[in-house]
Amino acid sequence: MADKIHGEGNYKASKDFDDAEKAFVQSGRVEEGARNAAPKTKAEEEEMNRAEAEARKRSKGEDPGVAKDAGKTTPKP
């Protein structure tokens, strides 16, 4: 018997992820998470920049529907 829940994707996992993401955003801990994700050393920052540049090479370009500064936050010290 075919698995009708996972035919075109795992709807339960998708809903669970969406619910967890919404709960995280509503928790007020996004800024804390951004600070924790910030590079700790100059070498780590350079590696992150290299990885981003490499990913951008493979990209089809920026989504015109997304603001240029979307997702760019400056963590407060």
- Which whole-number Å values give the CA distances from 53 to 15, 57, 64, 66, 68, in the listed order? 31, 6, 19, 19, 16
Q: Is 70 exceeded by the pLDDT of residue 7?
A: no
Mean pLDDT of the chain: 84
- pTM of the full predicted structure? 0.51
The answer to whether the beta carbons of residues 46 and 1 sit under 8 Å apart is no
- Each domain of the chain, given as residue ranges in start order, spans 29-57
The answer to whether the beta carbons of residues 24 and 30 sit under 8 Å apart is yes
- Which whole-number Å values give the CA distances from 62 to 4, 71, 74, in the listed order? 35, 13, 21
| Residue 18: its H or E element | helix 11-26
Q: Is 90 exceeded by the pLDDT of residue 67?
A: no
Q: Averaged over 37-62, what is the pLDDT?
A: 93
